[in-house]
Amino acid sequence: MAKAYWISHYQSVADPARFAEYAALAGPAIEAGGGRILLRGAAVRTFEGVEGQRDVVIEFDSVEAAVATYESARYQAALAKLKGAVVRDVRIVEGAQ
């Protein structure tokens, strides 16, 4: 079974305090779902696109585990903190086998 990757790309953070509240809740919710944070932060160097944006990549053992974690009550409670505080894209993709 291929691993899955939850990829979040933050275009902007309008409310850092609410982003911090989200992070405090989201990290434990993701770990409880089996997620392992592989990277988080701004790019060291940007070749295409806008500088200074934040990316997060989280590895799961399967697409099902990643989706279940995103849809979990615990993660959704964290996600509620982000409403209106950030602009981001979130995708779950299956890894190459």
Three-state DSSP at 61 gives coil
Output the pLDDT for position 66: 98
Query: Where is 22: in which H helix or E strand?
Result: helix 16-32
pLDDT in tens, 28-39: 999 999 999 999
pLDDT class of 53 with cuts at 50, 70, 90: confident
Do the strands 4-13 and 86-94 form a parallel or antiparallel pair, or are they unpaired?
antiparallel
Helix 16-32 / helix 63-71 crossing angle, nearest 10 deg: 130
CATH of 4-94 given 3.30.70.100, 3.20.20.70, 3.30.300.20, 3.40.250.10: 3.30.70.100
Three-state DSSP at 8 gives strand
Mean pLDDT score of the chain, rounded to an integer? 94
